[in-house]
Amino acid sequence: MNVEILAVADAVAREKSVERELVLEAMEQALKTAARRTYPGKEVVAEIDRLTGEIRLFHVRTVVIDEEFEEEENHLTLEQGKELDAEAEIGTEFRTSLPPIELGRIAAQTAKQVINQKIREAERDRVIAEYEPRVGELITGIVKRVERGNVYVDLGRGEAVMYREDLLPRETFRQGDRIRAYLREVRNQTKGPLVFVSRSDAGMVLRLFEQEVPEIEDGVVAIQAIARDPGSRSKIAVISTDAAVDPVGACVGMRGARVQAVVNELHGEKIDIIEWTEDPAVFVVNALAPAEIERVLVDEATNTIEVAVAEENLAIAIGRRGQNVRLASELTGWNIELMSAGEEKERRSEEIAAAKVVFQEGLDVDEDFAAVLVDEGFFSLEDLAYCAIEDISGIGGLDAEVAQELQKRARNVLLDQALQVGAEEGEATVSLLDLPGMTREIAEQLAARDMVSVEALADAAGDEIEDIEGLSREEADALIIAAREASGWFDE
């Protein structure tokens, strides 16, 4: 019997690819669980001799402090421990041998469940330890089975699952097929699969190019961004750290051999290789290839790029079902608004007309001068209010004094608009400019700090606004007190 236990432990360890010691520990735990039925209330420990396979059971009693003494059967006071061993101290364990137990049907079943549970936990820990460091790599396995569209892959020392959405469209596998996929995630969970692989992840394209292009592996060429429509088209942006190496040419290879190897692995998925650049306009133009771009307008405030193309190129730029512009937007990180050259011209005309009206009404200038401002690149009061004074004084021979007056008018209009919005949001009947000691210059600086209402100023502290130009600490405190009075802070 003893020899058979060691033989069984060796066989299970080989079959499940776990340590023999772990199997023996699981057996000891199972024996301990079964022994509790025979020796209820006793703290039992089971040991299996690693050389002979002999099974030994012990009743364990522990020396505890008086406050923790609860179970007479399993605890000893320090005095009792000293009687058994003069060197006993708190925490010392005394073991008494117990007769072997008879494993009945229920006890045997319980022991079997404990062993299986321990083995499953060990297998799970082994799979996690082996594959978690490999997340993000390409991995090869054999299709074990296909259930409801999900593919289960035998990795040799574990099993992975590739869900239906991780497959390429119209891609099918059968039992026994060899498969190469991207190790997407290793998840530690008690039930279900642990390793998840994918062929639709953008990382699949990245790793395939790393395998096919030595310059990427060497660090000479780097893939900066990837946008992918699995099974249909991918766009990758590449850059070279060596001026002598063409990053696009390196990825394409001689006669397209390198990129074709990737395309074949992905069952004909088209791949556009684009040179990455810091200039967003150039990057977007490259990303929208093969469409020819006529004009690009970058709006950094809204992270939007307006792109105008000829009417005959509009369909190419958009792509089938909007695929080309969508992938270009994902690749560059910019919102791309496509329009025909005619639409762009019409929109431009509307913007110019609107800007002229704003300047005429806000600055009290005539239409001709408003047109001059637009021609110089000013399209809003903000553009005029916060630019360098030299940018205005160079327009049409204006002197510095007139330029300063124009900028002052623009800032006054913006300030009045901000104060009006602040008053409406705060539902106040008093404007900042109505407060004693308030000037337009101070109000303008407060507006720059988002304090555009009496309530906002009332909530401020003196040290928050004392650095405003033209305002001392005492004056700052006085303004805040006035704002609080106007806001009704001191009303009964």
Q: Where are the domains of the chain?
A: 3-124, 135-200, 277-379, 426-487
So what's the pLDDT on residue 456? 77
SS3 53: coil
Q: Classify domain 135-200 by CATH number.
A: 2.40.50.140
- DSSP 8-class letter at 168: P
Strands 304-309 and 293-299: antiparallel
Which amino acid, 442?
I
CATH architecture of 426-487: Orthogonal Bundle (1.10)
Query: 3-state DSSP call for residue 393?
Result: helix
> What is the three-class DSSP state of 80?
helix
Output the pLDDT for position 411. 76
Is the omega angle on the peptide bond into residue 290 within 30 degrees of 0, that is, cis?
yes
For the whole model, what pTM was predicted? 0.61
Q: In this predicted structure, what is the pLDDT of residue 4? A: 73
Residue 174 half-sphere exposure, CB side, CA atoms within 13 Å? 0
Find, among 144, 235, 236, the residue nearest to 197 by Cα: 144
Tokens of 296: 């690009």
Nearest residue to 48 via CA among 11, 100, 92? 100
**Exposure pattern of 373-405 as b/e (b: 16+ CB <10 Å)?**
bbeeebbebeebbeeeeeebbebeebeeeebee
Q: CB pairs under 8 A, 24+ apart, for 380-386?
A: 380/355, 381/410, 381/413, 381/414, 382/414, 384/359, 384/410, 385/410, 385/411, 385/414
Helix, strand, coil abundance in the chain, percent, nearest 5:
50, 20, 30
What does the pLDDT read at residue 422?
59
Taking the domain 277-379, which CATH number applies? Answer: 3.30.300.20
The CATH label, of 3.30.1480.10, 3.90.650.10, 3.40.50.620, 3.40.190.10, for the domain at 3-124 is: 3.30.1480.10
pLDDT of residue 415: 72
Would you give per-residue pLDDT tens digits along the chain (492 residues)? Answer: 566 777 777 777 777 677 777 778 878 887 887 777 778 878 888 888 888 778 888 888 888 887 777 777 778 888 787 788 888 888 888 888 888 776 656 556 666 677 777 777 777 777 888 888 899 999 999 999 999 889 999 988 788 999 999 999 888 899 999 999 999 998 877 776 689 999 999 999 999 999 999 999 889 999 999 999 999 999 999 999 998 999 999 999 998 999 999 999 999 999 999 999 999 999 999 998 888 888 888 888 889 998 888 888 888 888 888 899 999 999 999 999 888 877 777 777 777 888 888 878 777 778 887 887 777 777 777 777 777 777 777 776 677 777 778 877 877 777 777 766 655 655 555 677 777 887 877 877 777 777 777 777 788 887 777 778 877 888 888 888 888 887 777 765
| CA 296 distance to own-chain centroid | 30
